[in-house]
Amino acid sequence: MGKIEVNRERCKACGLCISVCPKKLIIFSPGPNSQGFYPAEQSSEGECTGCALCAEICPDVAIEVWR
Amino acid sequence: MNPYFEGENFFERHRDSDMKQVFKRPASLRDIPFHFCPGCHHGTIHRLVAEAIDHYHLRERTIGIAGVGCAVFVYEYFDIDAAEAPHGRAPAVATGLKRVLPDRIVFTYQGDGDLASIGMSEIVHTANRGENITVIFVNNTVYGMTGGQMAPTTLLGQQTTTSPYGRDFNQDGYPIRMAEMLATLEGTAFSARVALNTPANLMKAKKAVRQAFEMQMNDMGFTFVELLSACPTNWGLNPIKANERVEKELIPYFPLGVFKERKGSDNF
Amino acid sequence: MEKRLFMKGNEALAYGAIKAGCRYYFGYPITPQNDIPEYFSRHMSKVEGCFLQAESEVASINMILGASAGGARAMTSSSSPGVSLMQEGISYLAGSELPAVIVNVTRSGPGLGGISASQGDYFQATRGGGHGDYRTIVLAPHSVQEMHDLAMLAFDLADLYRNPLVILADAVLGQMNETLEDRPYRPLELPPKDWILTGASGRKPNLIKSLYLKEGEMEKHNWKLFEKYQSMKKEIRYEISRAEDAQMMVAAFGTSARVAKTAIQIARAQGLKVGLFRPITLYPFPDQALLDLSRRVKKFISVEMNTGQMVEDVKLSVARDADVHFYGHPPGSPPDPEEVFEAIKKVY
């Protein structure tokens, strides 16, 4: 059982985390951050394994992962 | 093996549960937003270098030398001593510094224009002398900061703002393979090319960056890591498609691998 | 009546150069002049010219040297730090008496500085810039029209005097878009290039060099260059406006002159009798014209985007009893007309 936290203000909505998550748990959030990006966030559904691929691929070091 | 690696990272507990933190920002990477474009690999590479510095507890004896280009702000993001070199001259600046302070860890961080164009003389001679420094070479086949002009690593047929009809070898020659070229020099102890476009490639990149720093710590000679990177803005591609381009177009011409790996040190 | 175009300064300059027969461009990217190499990359092949992005500014200026020695009209462009890199090459061009056009779209300095406009390279451009006793002609446009027109003139002057020539623009001029008249290229009468290196077939070999080791040669060569620079004084160009009843003249070039024009309008509206003296050739500097003006007008203020460079030439030129003031707005952004007006008012 794992969990990610995306720093909303650092995320630039590049979409890379969404593309690598093996469980397809990450989505773009419905509301923008102060830069106008719609940041990534863990959707409430599904079980995160804490694999941290999202955090590894994130170019902005915007994701922290717990397991 | 390596006297500087002490073991597992400190794990924080998550405030809502008993989960341990398994991924966080490396301490030597300042907690400030990156100015890089969405999907730019500079941010990733900064993190990999900072992770290597932290892994070996090098922060207080590392000096970074910034090139000119999108890489110029390296000293804003790393919590270490740093200097700014004129365009292309970082290896020469690093040489001077390392000669004065041979027990410090010195690295340069350069893009394809800085290293392979204006800085070609400096990088070749620094490698040839076997200067005990680490060069982080960000190859994204364009000049990023100045708006997308052709680079020495621009692929044949690739359109840039100064090769609007596509790179033509009659006019501009072929793209240069730096990792292989520097591997032919005796002074080079480690020369590798990696990519960051998939998690698997990224893990190999992490290993290569760590190895480069470790070899410097062990005085083994000149270490060089070429990282194939995306420049979504100047390629005109979104970050996902940019990573696909790295796979389909860059890697076939710039193969991944280790081209030189010295096993022992020449320095006694 | 010529066609009217709407162009960016950098591109208008490149367009003018091609019109004047420039068929060789060697350069390296640097902000804020990338539009120039990019323009040439698109258009040179259309006129069977050669565009080559060199590996650095050092390589660029040396490619220019080779192309010029072969008789071609060759141009390079850069901005402040890149122009510094070219100084050795420019010295070689001057010593070898080779024509070349070098464009400096000045940015801020010193060092890496910044990408906004400044006029901090005035000394570099007008005092030779590199090693040795030489000068380059320096042209200072102040509008997109002049970026175009002076680019055409540049090649003729460089060929006429067999000398490198610098077009000293700045980031504002390079980036701004204005309308201009598509004026035709009207060549000056130029001597044949019988000194170029094309292979000594049917003639004695030609030699392009700047090394003079034999007894007395170096001195002779330097005086020869000196005489040439004296003869360049025929090329002095400047603009004087609103001087007839002026009590004070603003001296300014380039973007500072554009801002000063507005500041002078503000001043005039408030009853201050101010005029503008705008050098167009910074070398040779219009010293005689300034001296003549200063016999009647006794107050000058040099307005520049630096901490004081052209003001020294103004002081050297004017009559002993004329006062020369300075208003400097170092790099970052061009001065506002209002702040220039305040500076004018303060010393009026």
pLDDT tens for chain C, 348 residues long, are 789 999 999 999 999 999 999 999 999 999 999 999 999 999 999 999 999 999 899 989 989 998 999 999 999 999 999 999 999 999 999 999 999 999 999 999 999 999 999 999 999 999 989 999 999 999 999 999 999 999 999 999 999 999 999 999 999 999 999 999 999 999 999 999 999 988 777 888 888 889 888 999 999 999 999 999 999 999 999 999 999 999 999 999 999 999 999 999 999 999 999 999 999 999 999 999 999 999 999 999 999 999 999 999 999 999 999 999 999 998 778 899 999 999 999 999
Q: Tens digits of per-residue pLDDT, C217-247?
A: 999 999 999 999 999 999 999 999 999 999 9
Q: What angle do CA C19, C23, C25 make, to 5 degrees?
A: 110
pLDDT at position B48 over 50: yes
pLDDT at position B11 over 60: no
pLDDT at position B5 over 70: no
CA distance B48 to chain C (A): 27
pLDDT at position B56 over 50: yes
Q: How many domains does chain A have?
A: 1
**What residues contact residue C214 under an 8 Å CB cut-off, 6+ apart?**
none
pLDDT number for residue B15: 67
Ordered structural domains, chain C, with CATH: 4-234 (3.40.50.970), 238-347 (3.40.50.920)
CA distance B1 to chain C (A): 42
pLDDT at position A18 over 80: yes
Q: Is C41 on the interface with B (CB under 8 A)?
A: yes
**Cα–Cα distance measured from residue C206 to residue C199, given in angstroms and rounded to the nearest whole number:** 8
Q: Is A63 on the interface with B (CB under 8 A)?
A: yes
Phi, psi (degrees; rounded to nearest 5) at C243: -95, -15
pLDDT at position B183 over 60: yes
pLDDT number for residue B17: 74
Say if the Cβ atoms of B240 and A19 lie within 8 Å. yes
Closest by CA to B36, choosing from A14, C52, C18, is: A14
User: What would the mean pLDDT of B106-113 be, rounded to a whole number?
Assistant: 96
pLDDT number for residue B267: 58
Split at pLDDT 50, 70, 90, the class of B9 is: very low
pTM of the full structure: 0.85
- Domain with A35, as residue range(s), is 3-66
C-beta of residue C40 within 8 angstroms of C-beta of residue C151: no
Say if the Cβ atoms of A57 and B33 lie within 8 Å. no
User: What would the mean pLDDT of B256-266 be, rounded to a whole number?
Assistant: 89
What is the torsional sign of CA B132, B133, B134, B135?
negative
Domain ranges of chain B: 42-261
Say if the Cβ atoms of C29 and B146 lie within 8 Å. yes
Here the ipTM equals 0.95
pLDDT number for residue B125: 92
When the candidates are 3.40.50.970, 3.40.190.170, 3.40.50.261, 3.40.250.10, the CATH number that belongs to B42-261 is 3.40.50.970
Q: How far is CA A1 from the centre of its chain?
A: 16
Residue of A nearest to B241 (CA): A16
Peptide bond preceding B232 in cis form (omega within 30 of 0): no
Q: Is A6 on the interface with B (CB under 8 A)?
A: no
**Cα–Cα distance measured from residue B64 to residue B84, given in angstroms and rounded to the nearest whole number:** 9
- Which of B65, B117, B162, B169 is best to mutate for the C interface (most C CBs within 10 A)? B162
User: What would the mean pLDDT of A44-59 be, rounded to a whole number?
Assistant: 92
pLDDT number for residue B7: 39
> What number of other Cβ atoms are within 10 A of residue C78's Cβ?
25
Split at pLDDT 50, 70, 90, the class of B10 is: very low
Nearest-10 Cα torsion for C314, C319, C322, C328: 10
Query: Which chain B positions have a beta carbon within 8 Å of A32's beta carbon?
Result: none
pLDDT number for residue C198: 84
C-beta of residue B175 within 8 angstroms of C-beta of residue B153: yes
Rg (CA), chain C: 20
Residue of A nearest to B21 (CA): A66
Closest by CA to C243, choosing from C201, C280, C290, C283, is: C290
Q: Is C35 on the interface with B (CB under 8 A)?
A: no
Could you tell me the CATH number of the domain that includes residue A24?
Answer: 3.30.70.20
pLDDT at position A56 over 70: yes
**Cα–Cα distance measured from residue C4 to residue B153, given in angstroms and rounded to the nearest whole number:** 40
Q: Tens digits of per-residue pLDDT, B75-88?
A: 889 999 998 888 89
Q: Tens digits of per-residue pLDDT, B121-180?
A: 999 999 999 999 999 999 999 999 999 999 999 999 999 999 999 999 999 999 999 999
DSSP for C64-113 reads HHHHHHTT--EEEEE-HHHHHHHHHHHHHHHHHT--EEEEEEE-B-STT-
Q: Tens digits of per-residue pLDDT, B194-245?
A: 999 999 999 999 999 999 999 999 999 999 999 999 999 999 999 999 999 9
pLDDT number for residue B8: 42
Element (H, E) at C145: helix C144-161
Beta bridge partners of B142: B150
Query: Which chain A positions have a beta carbon within 8 Å of B47's beta carbon?
Result: 61
A-B interface (Cβ pairs under 8 Å ≥ 3): yes
Q: Token pair 């280790």 is at which residue? A: B258
Cβ under 8 Å to B: C residues 142-201: none
Average pLDDT, chain B: 92
Q: Token pair 């890697």 is at which residue? A: B251
